Chains A and B, each alone.
Chain A
Amino acid sequence: MKYTKNKLEQTENFEIIRKRSAIITKIRSYFQTNGYLEVETPILSPELIPESTIEVFETTFSSEFHGERQFYLIPSPEVFMKRLIAQGSGSIFQITKSFRNNEQIGKDHNPEFTMLEWYTIGSDYMDSIKRTEALFESLTNGNTPEWFRPPFLQKSIEEVFKEYVSIDLLKCQTKTLIRNEAVRLGLSPNKTDSWEDIFNRIFLSFIEPELPKGKPIVLYNYPRQIQCLAKEIKGTPWRERWELYVKGNEIANCYTEEIDRRKVKTFFEIEYSKKAVSARVISDIDNKYYQIFDNNYPECSGVALGVDRLIMLLTRSTSIEGVILFPFSAMMEE
């Protein structure tokens, strides 16, 4: 959508603006009628959950009464929503602006974007697939194109690695073994690559671009080596995590949330130390955050869904910039 001085009604994009509004209304109504409480949490936060691969925006609060303090724009509302769950909120959802720095701008990314995040108490990641399917059904009033229509295809990461590149990940748990496979496929991994880097090189070169586009597909059970707050599956190298692709676009991801406070604490330590080495902005963390995961913290599953990408697909737009009012790239040109 161009940053235009024309009157809105005269642009062909006006139809998309109306569709965007209608889709967001339907999302809201779906969660409200299914027992979720809508919440609004801050987008400026003094601490974040450390994620070594995400660059964040930083700003300074300054006041003659209160002094100065660094704040960060949230890359997702997770940090606050998990606190609400600890306080007994029950199942909650939120549609909020989130921010990520240092990503490319254009087709799939805008530094400021709209995220839908919801947490379901007493659920795991597999329950959340059904919930997401039901949400999708509610968005299209029965007139659903095949590429959007549930049930979603479901494949484990283990399966797609076997199917697309003949790699048995269970037999490639060390860096040397997975590196050998990458080299066999013609890739050139770096000496400094981690297991996760090599995994991603293979996945992004040969699997992600080839995923089916005629049906939504969920890839589930991601490797443990990819650090995140998804629960580990005992006795396996996997975590209870999935990613949803629609027409080849990554739309949503989900975890059965890790609620073991020792594991959360370890995650914070590992990711914070990685961030300290690689990030431009090293956001503060709450050293006591793990303490919210006490014995009463409920089992739950969280899903984050990119609303702009969803609307891009539903309006047949080719870029998220087509469904965002005043996209970033247009403002950069000003």
Chain B
Amino acid sequence: MKAGAIDKGIALLIKGSPFIVVEREFVNPGKGSAFVRLKLKSPATGRVLKETMKTQDNVEEIIVEDKECQFLYSDEAAFHFMDTETYDQFEVPMVGFADYKLLMRDGDTYKVIMWEEKPLDIIIPYKVVYEVTEAFEGVKGDTVQGASKLVKIETGLEVKVPIFIKQGERIMINTETHEYVERVNS
């Protein structure tokens, strides 16, 4: 495929190793042709690679398969999943995904991207509803944002929210930026 068609989340084979595209930005340098600036992550090592390609460059996209998997638990080193079709259990080393620990909820189902029988990536929905398990004292925010405070959600992530959010309420979080989106009344 052409580098111009690269999208966030796809997998590429770079110098023989699989990488996930975590950031993609088009750049047109003054008087230059079109480039795409990429941040790539190796699921095996967690290593982040910066690469800039011309949009006309050829890249090798990896054909991957995705599986619906239930997240069972995590330990120090890995996330443990169960394939909901075959009931096979397997683990995804945490090294490339340490930050996911604060976003994934035991028992929830996630898409796991597999390549050559090996897990390559875990897909967390862009927006997820969590319960607030701990609400701290309100702190006065800057005048633009309005008053805000910190709360902890069930996965342990701390999030800045408007002052009216109470413990036990459910809130929607943007899993990319870890930012509060809205309160969910159910």
Chain A residues proximal to chain B, CB less than 8 Å: 51-53, 102-104, 109, 186-188, 190, 193, 196-197, 200-201, 203-206, 208-209, 222, 226-228, 243, 250, 253
- With an 8 Å Cβ cutoff, the count of chain B residues facing the other chain is 20
B:72-129 near A, CB below 8 Å: none
Whether A226 pairs with B31 at a CB distance below 8 angstroms is yes
A103 pairs with B34, CB closer than 8 A? yes
A190-B57, A222-B31 given; name 7 further pairs at CB < 8 Å.
Answer: A53-B28, A53-B34, A102-B34, A103-B34, A187-B52, A243-B30, A253-B31
B51/A197 in contact, CB under 8 A:
no
Q: Is the CB of A204 within 8 A of B26?
A: no
Q: Are B30 and A205 in contact (CB under 8 A)?
A: no
Q: Give the distance in Å from the alpha carbon of A196 to the alpha carbon of B54 in the complex.
A: 12
Given contacts A187-B51, A188-B51, A190-B54, contact A250 B31 (CB under 8 A): no
Residue of A197, A203, A222, A228 touching B33 (CB-CB under 8 A): A197
A55 and chain B: residue at smallest CB distance = B34
B35 touches A204 (CB 8 A): yes
With A53-B28, A103-B28, A205-B52: A188-B15 Cβ-Cβ less than 8 Å: yes
The contact string, 1 if C-beta is below 8 Å from chain A, for chain B 20-34, is 000000111111111
Nearest B-chain residue to A51, judged by Cβ: B31
CA distance A42 to B35 in the complex (A): 30
Question: How close is B131's CB to chain A, nearest CB, in angstroms?
Answer: 29
Q: Which residues of A contact B178 (CB under 8 A)?
A: none
Q: Is there contact, CB below 8 Å, between A201 and B30?
A: no
Min CB–CB distance B135 → chain A (angstroms): 28
Q: B51, A200: Cβ atoms under 8 Å?
A: no
Q: How many angstroms between the C-alpha atoms of A150 and B84 in the bound complex?
A: 60
Please give the distance in Å from B144's CB to the nearest CB on chain A.
8
- The smallest C-beta distance from B59 to any residue of chain A, in angstroms, reads 10
Of B14, B49, B52, most buried by chain A (CB within 10 Å of CB) is B52
On whether the beta carbons of A200 and B15 are closer than 8 Å, the reply is: no
- A–B pairs, 20, beta carbons within 8 Å: A52-B33, A53-B31, A109-B28, A187-B51, A188-B15, A190-B54, A190-B57, A200-B29, A200-B32, A200-B33, A201-B35, A204-B29, A204-B35, A205-B37, A222-B31, A226-B32, A250-B29, A250-B30, A253-B30, A253-B31
Q: Are B52 and A103 in contact (CB under 8 A)?
A: no
A contact residues around B51 at 8 Å (CB): 187-188, 205
Query: Which A residues lie within 8 Å of B52 (CB)?
Result: 187, 200-201, 204-205
A226 neighbours in B (Cβ, 8 Å):
31-32
- A190 proximity list for chain B (CB < 8 A): 54, 57
Q: Shortest beta-carbon distance, B68 to chain A, in Å?
A: 30
Q: How far is the CB of A235 from chain B (nearest CB, A)?
A: 22
Whether the pair B31, A203 counts as a contact (CB closer than 8 A) is no
Q: Which residues of B contact A203 (CB under 8 A)?
A: 29
Measured between alpha carbons, how far is A196 from B11 in the docked complex, in Å? 28
Partner of B26 from A103, A193, A243, A250 at Cβ < 8 Å = A103
Shortest beta-carbon contacts, A-B, top 9: A104-B26, A205-B52, A204-B52, A53-B33, A200-B32, A253-B30, A201-B52, A228-B31, A243-B30
Interface pair B50/A227, CB less than 8 Å apart: no
Q: Using known A-B contacts A103-B26, A188-B15, A190-B57, determine if residue A206 contacts B31 with beta carbons closer than 8 Å.
A: no
Instruction: List, in ascending order, chain A residues with CB within 8 A of B34's CB.
Output: 53, 102-103
A53 to B31: give the CA distance in the assembly, Å.
Answer: 7
B31–A227 touching, CB < 8 Å: yes
| Complex Cα–Cα for A312 and B37 (A) | 22
What chain A residues lie within 8 Å of B50 (beta carbons)? 205-206
- Given A102-B34, A209-B37, check contact A197 B15 (CB 8 Å): no
Contacts of A104 in B (CB 8 A): 26
CB–CB B32/A196 < 8 A: yes
State in angstroms the CA–CA spacing of A213 and B53 once bound together: 24
Assess the A53–B54 pair: CB atoms within 8 A: no
Docked complex Cα distance between A203 and B37 (Å): 11
CA of A82 to CA of B15, assembled, Å: 48
Residue of A nearest to B26 (CB): A104
Separation of A197 and B52 alpha carbons in the complex (Å): 10
Inter-chain CA distance A53–B27, complex, in Å, is 12
A200 pairs with B26, CB closer than 8 A = no
Chain B, range 1-49, C-beta contacts under 8 Å to A: 14-15, 26-35, 37, 49
- How many Å from the CB of A276 to the closest CB on chain B? 15
- What's the minimum C-beta distance from B30 to chain A, rounded to whole angstroms? 5
Most-contacted residue by chain A among B29, B49, B50, B51 (CB, 10 A): B29
B64 CB, nearest partner CB in chain A, Å: 22
